[in-house]
Amino acid sequence: MSQPTGTAAAASPAAMPRYREAALRVSPVAHEVRADGTVLVRPVQAPVPVPYLTFSAWARRWADERGRQTALGQRDASGAWRLVTWAQFYERMRSVAAGLLEMGLSRERPLMILSGNSIEHALLVAAAEYAGIPTAAVSPAYSLQSQDFARLRGIHALLRPAAVFVQAAEPFARAIEALGLPAAAVIVAEGATAGQVDWMALQDAPLTPAREDRVESAHAGISAADTARYFFTSGSTGAPKGVTITYDSIQALMGQFLFAHGAPEYQGTVVLDWLPWNHVFGGIGNLGRAFVLGASFYIDDGRPTPALFARTVKNLREISPTMFATVPAAWGMLVTELERDEALAQAFFSRLMFVSYGGASLPGDVLARFQRVAERVAGARILFTSGFGATETTAMGLNFSQPADDTGNLGMPVPGVELKLVPLDGGDGRYEVRMRGRNIFSGYLQQPELSAAAFDDEGFYCMGDAARMVDPAVPGAGLRYAGRCVEDFKLSNGTWVRTGAVRVALLEQCAPLLADAVICGHDRDFVAALAWPNAVACQRLASELTGLPVEQLVSHPIVVAALSERLRAVTGAASQHARRVLLMAEPPSIDAGEIADKGYINQATTRERRAGLIGELYAEPPAAVVARAA
């Protein structure tokens, strides 16, 4: 029997501090507990109707209603912002769509995009979608950093694209050669060589009545079951899996945007975002929401790494977003900058409505520091939302959008999504997370057996993630992430180590010095961790560390001593706390599978890839660069 359980838990009204208005809606949920302990959770409210099947259809509306407003912005080679209005975007999108159809692209012959985020990339995806042509953006690293191009060739063989796109010809020349592509099948924005399709010719070709009729006919022929996108999940070995996303799933996601934000008649939504569009969080979640809301989307050329984060800071000084989303590791870096840079803080908070993170828990110290700056600069706290989804769920699933004093609440399913929680062995309150709804992918490209194995006998997608209830007595109070089901391990004495809980505890006890961590200890006597430093916070430990590169920070005695002091301050069971920490200079690799699509560090893959460092971590006696509790 279903029981109403309200919405995910927030802070009590009596103790509620003032928050800036964010105007985000949430749905109460109802739950059902089966005899075997399985819990089903469903939103009470129905999904919101959506007038379109495609993101690109919104461009027509915004061209009419907000034609002069910036749709996309990107820095050019000189550092100036290059802007495209919604009217320009719609006009160019349809011209490009006509050109793609003339090149022979179709539902069966998709477009493959090799390069990263750009205005041209966004126009191509929208144009292809408008004409019913599937697209697949793949990691630029497959083209730019590979020696044998094995993954790139494997994806190309699966897709059989009619054309590929690269932003610039020269950096991708080896990849194009490796694929054996004819020049006429290569679209190039910068530096097209003889025979290749020059972007400007594609974009600026007049949209004659005949070409326009063909484009509009193709758009009218799109059905919900047609494939819109392919996303390739990062695999540690072998070729990545091709996740098939239909227009039905995209429409379901658009419905969630409309439910959460209300009707998008209001103007002024501004987004600055770096997340790569070859991943679903950035390519459908963040970019897609900008289409639905008619936002101004600025492409951030920075990254949450010591070498590139300064670019994000520069961009945030110039572009004040109304919403800002990034991965948990980036928030620690940004908060450190907000604390020390008043001009940045004033610009960042000037019109900010809400911020969000996905996947992993945000350390409580980062949230507290963020809100202290917000209260000082904005006079109120800013809503910190979180969510949980995957490539296979079209970046949609759970959402938490209420004021709260702690972090890590993933929320409850949004309208249109059913949640199934299957108890896991161990008696510690963990559940395997499964989802069902229109947002769920239709299968892995040309892998029917793998597709079938991804679903249970009731049609729920088995995500492979674990979660705990915030309040077991109230299933609707929300969930906390408890790691990948396959990532937990046992110490040599047989005690289970829950990597998710240990990771959060370590980040909090060492705050603000660590950006993220990988928990180690399989068949060892104690738990230890590999970790990435928060470079700015580490540099502030002593004046002599100012400006020191991360390669030197990770082994500096002052940094190691500060971490050791924090490790010694914690006592408890050996399975619950890390006894040693070794800092790493090399950032987590998306393309090696160290970062999952949800922004969460893939613990098992990273441990496997960095096995040599784990050996150093457990060496006896430990090296001087290893921080240790004793």
Q: Please state, for a pLDDT cut of 90, what percent of the chain lies above it.
A: 76
Two structure tokens written together for 27: 């749905």
pLDDT at 589 over 90: no
237 confidence band (pLDDT: 50, 70, 90): very low
pLDDT at 9 over 80: no
CB 59 within 8 A of CB 133: no
pLDDT at 498 over 90: no
Q: What is the pLDDT of residues 239-262, one digit of tens each?
A: 579 999 999 999 999 999 999 998
User: Is there a cis peptide before residue 512, judged by omega within 30 degrees of 0?
Assistant: yes
Find the mean pLDDT for residues 186-195. Answer: 97
Angle between helices 328-340 and 364-378 (to 10 degrees): 40
Rg (CA), the chain: 24
Find the mean pLDDT for residues 605-620. Answer: 93
Highest CATH level, class, for 82-222: alpha beta
CB 511 within 8 A of CB 363: yes
pTM equals 0.84
Find the mean pLDDT for residues 457-464. Answer: 96
Nearest in space to 105 (alpha carbons), one of 227, 232, 204: 227
CB 155 within 8 A of CB 136: yes
Find the mean pLDDT for residues 223-243. Answer: 81
- Same topology, domains 3-50+271-484 and 82-222? Answer is yes
SS3 350: coil
Architecture of domain 490-628: 2-Layer Sandwich (3.30)
Helix or strand run (H / E) with residue 136: strand 135-137
More confident residue, 504 or 459: 459
**Contacts by 28-33 with C-beta closer than 8 Å and gap 24+?**
28/4, 28/476, 29/4, 29/5, 29/412, 29/413, 29/475, 29/476, 30/2, 30/3, 30/4, 30/5, 30/476, 31/2, 31/3, 31/5, 31/475, 31/476, 32/1, 32/2, 32/3, 33/475
Q: Where are the domains of the chain?
A: 3-50+271-484, 82-222, 490-628
Q: What is the pLDDT of residues 279-318, one digit of tens each?
A: 999 999 999 999 999 999 999 999 888 789 999 999 999 9
What is the model's pLDDT at position 16? 74
30 confidence band (pLDDT: 50, 70, 90): very high
Rounded Cα distance, 352 and 193, in Å: 44
236 confidence band (pLDDT: 50, 70, 90): very low
More confident residue, 491 or 362: 491
Strand partners, 465: 484
Find the mean pLDDT for residues 265-276. Answer: 86
483 confidence band (pLDDT: 50, 70, 90): confident
Rounded Cα distance, 608 and 237, in Å: 11
CATH for the stretch 3-50+271-484: 3.40.50.12780
Find the mean pLDDT for residues 45-64. Answer: 96
pLDDT at 476 over 90: no
Q: What is the pLDDT of residues 80-139, one digit of tens each?
A: 999 999 999 999 999 999 999 999 999 999 999 999 999 999 999 999 999 999 999 999
Strands (E), 414-568: 417-423, 430-437, 461-469, 479-484, 489-490, 496-497, 514-520, 528-533
Q: Which of 414-418, 423-427, 533-537 has the lowest mean pLDDT?
A: 423-427
